[in-house]
Structure 1
Amino acid sequence: MLDELFARLREATAPAEIEALQDGIWQIWLTAGHPVLDKRLENGMRALSADEYTLAIQEFTFLIEAAPEYAEGWNKRATAYYLRGEYKASLRDARQVLRREPRHFGALWGLAIMHRMLGDARGALRYLTRLEQLCPAWPGLQTQLRTLRNGLREGPG
C-alpha cells in the first residue's frame, strides 16, 4: 500500500492530489502497530500540540526504545527537539528517520529547513533534491530548489 501511494505521489501534479496522497501516507506512518505504542504516540502528539515538549520527548523516547525501527517515533521526537530549539538532537533524530524510511518527506523537508537555518545551503539542497525524486510537483519545492541553486552559483558576497 505504501509503495503504491509513493508511486502515485511521484506522478501527482495537482496540489489537492498531492495532499490527499500525503494524508494517506501519514495515516500509515501514524500507526505504530501495537495498542500501547499507538497510545504513547497519541500522548506524545497531544503533548506536542500543547507545547509540552519535554513530555512529548519522553513519550517519543519510550516509543523509540520499545520499537527502534518505527521511523515515526524518531520523526516525532525530532519535531519536538526542533520546537524546543535543540537543533543538533533534531538533526540526529531526523537522520535516524531516513535510515528507517528513506522516503519520509517530513524528515526530508525538516532536514532541509534546519540545514538552511544553519547556513548550509548545500545540505538543504541535498535533502530537497531527494524530496524532488519523491514528488517533483510538491508545492513550493521547485521555487526552493531554484533559490538554493541560484544562491550556490552566485556564491557568498
Structure 2
Amino acid sequence: MERRTHHLTISLPHRLDTLNDLFARLREATAPAEIEALQDGIWHIWLTAGHPVLDKHLEAGMRALSAGDYTLAIQEFTSLTEASPDYAEGWNKRATAYYMRGEYNASLRDVRETLRREPRHFGALSGWATMLRMLGDDRGALRVLGRLEKICPAWPGLQSQLRDLRDRLEE
C-alpha cells in the first residue's frame, strides 16, 4: 500500500519579519539578560509549527524527549518533518532526539537539514559544534562556532570556546 503524505506549509510572512528583527537585535546584544530574552523570543516563534496537526506532533515529541523516550520522540518528529519538510524546528528536535540516543551521524544529518532551512539556527549550530568537538574535529567545530559568532558574538561562553579551539589548533 502506498503511503501518501500531505505537506503542510507554514506561510506566515510576519514570522519571518519578526525573526529577522530579533536576529538583528541579537547580533548587537551584549547583556546576558538581553541575549536570553531575544533567544526566548526566537525559540517562541520556532516552537510554533503553525498548524494544529503539526503542533500536536511537536508537543508529543517534546514530551517524549523530556521523558527520555527517544524512540517515540523520533517517531513524532519524523511525522512532523514528513508533514512539513520546510519546518526547520522539526528537523532540529529530531536531531536532538538522535543526539540523546547517541546516534550522532543521524543527528548531524538532521542538523544539516535544520540549517538548510534556517541558517541562523543557533541551537543547531551549538549542537553541531559540540558533536564535532566530541568527534575530535576541532577545525570543524571552530568553523561552526565562527558561524555562531556572526549571529551572536556575545553568546555566553562562545569567546572562550573559540579561544580554546584556536589555542589547541596552534599547538
Task: Answer yes or no: same fold by TM over 0.5.
Answer: yes
* Equivalent in the alignment of 1:130: 147
2:53, 2:109 → 1: CA distance?
25
1:83 pairs with 2:100: yes
Equivalent pairs, count: 154
Give 1:22 deviation, angstroms: 0.2
1:139 to 156, 166, 171: 156
Q: Does 1:103 align with 2:120?
A: yes
Instruction: Name stretches of at least 5 consecutive residues in structure 2 with no aligned partner.
Output: 1-17
Gaps of 5+ in 1: none
| Counterpart amino acid of residue 42 in structure 1 | E
- 1:98 Cα deviation from its structure 2 partner: 0.4
Report the Cα offset of residue 15 of structure 1: 0.4
In structure 1, C-alpha distance between the alignment counterparts of 2:140 and 2:56, rounded to whole Å: 35
Per-residue deviation, 1:41? 0.1
Pair 1:40-2:57 in alignment: yes
Distance in structure 2 (CA, Å) of the matches to 1:82 and 1:121 = 19
TM-score, normalization by structure 1 = 0.98
d(CA) in 2 for partners of 1:91 and 1:36?
26
**Which 4+ runs in 1 deviate beyond 6 A?**
none
Percent identity, aligned pairs only, is: 80
| Pairwise CA distance, 1:149 | 0.6
